[in-house]
Amino acid sequence: MSEIQDKITKILVDKIGIASTEATIDANFIKDLGIDSLDYAELVMEFEQTFEIRIPDSDAEQLQTVGQAVEYITKKVNQN
């Protein structure tokens, strides 16, 4: 597991209260983890703060799984 995936899993465990085993790479934020739109907005803000990146709303809408978030954030972090 990558460092970025570890951090995303920790955020999900801390903010949403899921078990770390639920935050699999294929887990869908809404369908599998039960995250609502308010929780999702808070997650995106937490990702931005933790990784010191900006995630435009149009990009945030495309992040539906843990794996997509890991891939997106990895690309953004490596651009800086």
Cα–Cα distance measured from residue 56 to residue 22, given in angstroms and rounded to the nearest whole number: 26
Residue 36 in 3-state DSSP? coil
Count Cβ atoms below 10 Å from residue 24 Cβ, excluding itself.
14
Phi (first) and psi of residue 33, to 5 degrees: -100, -5
Residue 32 annotated in active site: no
Contact 50, 11 (CB under 8 A): yes
Task: Tell me which of 14, 36, 57, 59 is the catalytic residue.
Answer: 36
Just list the catalytic residues: 36
